[in-house]
Chains A and B, each alone.
Chain A
């Protein structure tokens, strides 16, 4: 983002920036005031009932844009079991006390009041693609014309031995919430003699730079606050999966002597009593063990019983990226981390996928053909220290030959190093991204 050009004279920008130094909650509210100028159009000739399952980055964006672009004729119901969404994005900063979970919490009030989305606090337990119904945990059955499913991810079990109490100490904190606080307490109890081990699963996993970012943030904290300590990265993959240059530089220079990067280390089991991680290439000992399990689509997809998880060995949902419609069923669309595409599993692009999906559904409800050339983009800002960040970005364009989204322009691009400027851009990015999703 080029400040010189894109920060305008409008007071709102300056105001937002001032408030950003306080808390995120306030800042988002400021942005909301500007957003309230946006009005839902009346009937756009698109009519129908759309149910969106999952109020995360993908589902919430879809629900909002179905109304914003589809107008009042599109009845949108969002089904989400939690009243509060804790953002995974920035949750690594919670681990070292640079943010609170409270600052990363979002709710669905504006979806209700500003966009007229009907939000039901419940979870979906069954989908009937023939009768076009979903069944809620409460037993209630709802009818849809179009269904959007965005349940995020679930995990494969990890083999952990030891007493029940010690087993419960091994957390992933890869879905922000209770586990984030738990891991934070473990990290804060470390001394400069202790080792933090992070185990990275084989791809695909959500947020490709995320685990390396976590290693950097923890290393920076141990150095600054504890005066030392060690971080061992056990990566099941053969190499760094995102921003290889920036992370190599962080491991070899910025956090030299603290971070040890071990590629090709596949997790076999964890001995929680002894604090040992067994891998195919040896055993590693650590005070705090943060094992991120192998991922799969949210259990609603993998346990659907109707074959929605028809890609990558039954772990992810195959979709047509023009519409995000399931390759198994008509009128069921799957967006965000749960779908199998060439795009990364990340929140920024989940938001972009949701817009393509909402746009397509609106066209379909109008009986029109869909946009034949969708474009999406991914952007991840990565804190490397308390005051510097790097970034990774890529724009995808639909390729009609392979029927996939392919990187365009400069392709997958990482920043030239980690800077304070990037860190400042990162704060604005987060604020705008979360507003574009929840406000």
Chain B
């Protein structure tokens, strides 16, 4: 996850803190209040283009590829959907009976920060 090289320092700092938050969340499995606000919209700043293969959510989001296609481009595709839509759908699913829909199982497995990162990944594809 140290491999991100972006054009502006501001973005690099933003993403680094994002990564730190994610790493911390992963370690504890507890949803924490991030020390700094996560602003995923900022990483969509038009002044640079995130190389899809170097997105920090890549490896997390790759868990979705088996059922939604590589980079979310298959049947039931996710590529190009808005991050907000993906995040709010996953949140909704995570409150439901996991046995009722296979997606509910998956929505319940990720922390809020991980879900944001996944949403951001697909919105950039």
Q: Which residues of A contact B (CB under 8 A)?
A: 1-3, 5-8, 10, 12-13, 16-17, 31, 34-35, 37-38, 41, 44-45, 65, 68-69, 71, 348, 351-352, 355-356, 359, 362-363, 366, 368-369, 371-377, 379, 391, 393-395, 397-398, 400, 408-410, 413-416, 425, 428-429, 431-433, 435-436, 439
B23 neighbours in A (Cβ, 8 Å): 372-373
Residue interface mask B21-39, A partner, CB < 8 A = 1: 0010011010000000000
B29: contacting residue among A17, A38, A408, CB under 8 A: A408
A429 neighbours in B (Cβ, 8 Å): 66-67
Known contacts: A428-B75, A432-B76. The answer to whether A409 contacts B89 by CB under 8 A is no
- B1–A17 CB distance below 8 A: no
Q: For the complex, give the distance between the alpha carbons of A80 and B29 in Å.
A: 39
- A6–B78 CB distance below 8 A: yes
B84 neighbours in A (Cβ, 8 Å): none
B60 neighbours in A (Cβ, 8 Å): 375
Known contacts: A371-B59, A416-B97, A416-B100. The answer to whether A34 contacts B73 by CB under 8 A is yes
Q: For the complex, give the distance between the alpha carbons of A140 and B60 in Å.
A: 38
Smallest Cβ distance from A366 to chain B, in angstroms?
6
- B108–A17 CB distance below 8 A: no
- A416–B53 CB distance below 8 A: no
Q: For the complex, give the distance between the alpha carbons of A287 and B58 in Å.
A: 51
Residue interface mask B11-50, A partner, CB < 8 A = 1: 0000000000001001101000000000000000000000
Q: Which residues of B contact A (CB under 8 A)?
A: 1-3, 23, 26-27, 29, 51, 53-54, 58-60, 62-63, 65-71, 73-78, 81, 89, 93, 97-106, 108-110, 114
- Determine which residue in A45, A414, A436 has the highest number of CB atoms from chain B within 10 A of its CB, and name it: A436
B102: contacting residue among A12, A352, A366, A391, CB under 8 A: A391
B68: contacting residue among A6, A17, A37, A376, CB under 8 A: A6
Smallest Cβ distance from B2 to chain A, in angstroms?
5
Known contacts: A2-B89, A10-B77, A429-B67. The answer to whether A409 contacts B105 by CB under 8 A is yes
- A41–B26 CB distance below 8 A: no
Q: List 23 A-B contacts (CB under 8 A).
A: A2-B89, A6-B78, A7-B76, A31-B73, A31-B74, A34-B77, A37-B73, A352-B66, A355-B65, A363-B1, A377-B109, A393-B105, A395-B105, A410-B104, A410-B109, A413-B99, A413-B105, A414-B99, A428-B75, A432-B67, A432-B68, A433-B67, A435-B70
Q: For the complex, give the distance between the alpha carbons of A249 and B54 in Å.
A: 46
Q: Which residue of A lies closest to B73 (CB)?
A: A34
In the complex, how many residue pairs between chain A and chain B have their CB atoms under 8 Å apart?
Answer: 166
Q: Which residue of B lies closest to A20 (CB)?
A: B75
A439 neighbours in B (Cβ, 8 Å): 70
B70: contacting residue among A5, A44, A436, CB under 8 A: A436
- The 6 tightest CB contacts between A and B, nearest first, are A409-B109, A395-B109, A373-B26, A410-B98, A409-B108, A432-B74
Smallest Cβ distance from B34 to chain A, in angstroms?
16
Q: Which residue of B lies closest to A41 (CB)?
A: B53
Q: Which residue of A lies closest to B94 (CB)?
A: A409
Smallest Cβ distance from A409 to chain B, in angstroms?
3
Known contacts: A397-B109, A400-B27. The answer to whether A5 contacts B89 by CB under 8 A is yes
B67: contacting residue among A394, A408, A428, CB under 8 A: A428
A45 neighbours in B (Cβ, 8 Å): 3
- B58–A69 CB distance below 8 A: yes
